[in-house]
Amino acid sequence: MNNYDVAIIGSGFVGTSLAHFLQNYFSVKTFDIVSQSSLLTNSKIPHELIDITDFNSLQKIGNPKVIIHSAIIQIPKINEDKNLGYNVNVKGTQNICEIVSQNSSIQGMLLISSWHTYGEQQLKGLLQENIGYRPDMVEDRARLYALSKTIQECLIRFYDEKTPNKIFGALKIGTVLGEGMPKGTAANLFIEKAISGEKLTPFKHSMNRPMLYASITDICKATKNFVNLIIEQKKTSNNSIEHVMNIAYPHPISILDLAHIISNSVNKYTNGKIKPEVSIIDQGLDEVGSSTDKDNIELDVSKVKNFLNMETLTSPQEQIDILIKKKLSTTN
Ligand SMILES: NC(=O)c1ccc[n+]([C@@H]2O[C@H](COP(=O)([O-])OP(=O)(O)OC[C@H]3O[C@@H](n4cnc5c(N)ncnc54)[C@H](O)[C@@H]3O)[C@@H](O)[C@H]2O)c1
């Protein structure tokens, strides 16, 4: 299968979910430096090993119509091996852009980007895609990641502007809530603890941090519609910001809210048999932000509504309920 619809590079959490969903609409192949996720074993989606830091290795992709780029070196690895972080996140993205640019069969690419390019601190008002990049406004541990995502978006945008007949776009996704979430995320830790009846223990210093969350189902639907946009070649503007779109539930919640949502959901769906307590841990560190910070921000999602037909977006509450119900049905 050398000619096919969609190549998904990076089949980690997001890439695997995308492959699952998109196979219902397109011919799909996954690519990663490691073997295919066991979650895709029965899906019959072809998978090949590639290393995006090696330009020649990218020839294995063949002739898809669209590439989705979801490969990344995450926190904490990016801080432990900065050269690897640079090579994969920056040079790897440049290599993918170049392949898209050179191969006449490929009509465009979609980067899975992040709301972290806006920074997390002192955010105010309506967050539109054109407000710029604030990679310094994150915790120290997240700076290289935020810089990576910013550089990636800038590369994508430059290629979009210099390549007349192809679309290079980005979806700036919120922190993802969905099955298969990485184990170390706050949402996953809280869910695991809540279902076991343990206390949920948000840290006092970070509990007010406003978080923008996105449901994996919404991301999959928006990606499908973005792929169609690329295939239909609806390049209506030469300003690359038109191909960068936010997707998350527009109203942030704090980490403390998340703990309460999860606790209440477990209480509700176990009919009160499990009532996980939320117990705040004070480590004596300075608090980041206040409880009203989340009320100062709204994510502008008008582009995904208008261009990708995402009329309704799933709230964190709705997505958590879905996850808890599923989890309880498999643990009983
Ligand atoms: N998970 C989230 O909550 C979240 C939030 C915002 C943005 N994002 C973005 O979504 C994208 C996907 O994130 P994820 O959570 O699925 O990450 P992940 O770590 O689960 O998956 C990344 C994949 O990239 C692969 N990879 C690493 N180096 C590679 C290389 N040299 N060549 C080929 N593949 C390589 C890894 O093996 C892994 O399977 C990333 O760009 C991330 O920044 C994720």
pLDDT in tens, 72-91: 999 999 999 999 999 999 99
Q: Is the CB of 150 under 6 A from ligand 1?
A: no
For residue 332, is pLDDT > 70?
no
C-alpha span between 147 and 86 (Å, rounded)? 10
C-alpha span between 223 and 229 (Å, rounded)? 10
Q: Report the separation in Å between the CA atom of 189 and the middle of ligand 1, taken as the mean of its atom positions.
A: 19
Confidence band, pLDDT 50/70/90 cuts, at residue 233: confident
For residue 330, is pLDDT > 90?
no
* Nearest ligand 1 atom, CA 53: 31
CA quadruple 246, 254, 214, 157: dihedral positive or negative? positive
Q: Is the CB of 12 under 6 A from ligand 1?
A: yes
Radius of gyration (C-alpha) of the chain in whole angstroms: 20
Q: What is the pLDDT averaged over residues 15-36? A: 97
For residue 234, is pLDDT > 80?
no
Q: Please give the residue that has the higher pLDDT: either 98 or 235.
A: 98
Q: Report the separation in Å between the CA atom of 73 and the middle of ligand 1, taken as the mean of its atom positions.
A: 6
Buried b (16+ CB within 10 A) or exposed e, 26-48: bebbbbbbeebbeebeebebebe
Bridge partners for 214 per DSSP:
176
pLDDT score at 269: 97
The residue behind tokens 């184990």 is 183
* Nearest ligand 1 atom, CA 116: 6
pLDDT score at 313: 97
For residue 295, is pLDDT > 90?
yes
Q: Report the separation in Å between the CA atom of 281 and the middle of ligand 1, taken as the mean of its atom positions.
A: 30
Q: Is the CB of 33 under 6 A from ligand 1?
A: yes
Give the pLDDT confidence of 27-48 residue by residue, as tens digits.
999 999 999 988 888 889 999 9
Which domains occur in the chain, in start order?
3-177+214-250+295-313 (3.40.50.720)
For residue 331, is pLDDT > 80?
no
Average pLDDT, the chain: 95
pLDDT score at 283: 92
Give the pLDDT confidence of 249-288 residue by residue, as tens digits.
999 999 999 999 999 999 999 999 999 999 999 999 888 8
* Structure tokens, 127: 């967050």
Instruction: Map residue 69 onto helix, strand or coil.
Output: strand
Q: What is the pLDDT averaged over residues 102-108? A: 97
Give the pLDDT confidence of 167-222 residue by residue, as tens digits.
999 999 999 999 989 888 999 999 999 999 999 999 999 999 999 999 999 999 99
pLDDT score at 1: 63
pLDDT score at 280: 96
Minimum CA distance residue for ligand 1 atom 19: 12
Q: Report the separation in Å between the CA atom of 279 and the middle of ligand 1, taken as the mean of its atom positions.
A: 32
pLDDT score at 39: 87
Confidence band, pLDDT 50/70/90 cuts, at residue 306: very high
For residue 160, is pLDDT > 80?
yes
C-alpha span between 66 and 315 (Å, rounded)? 29
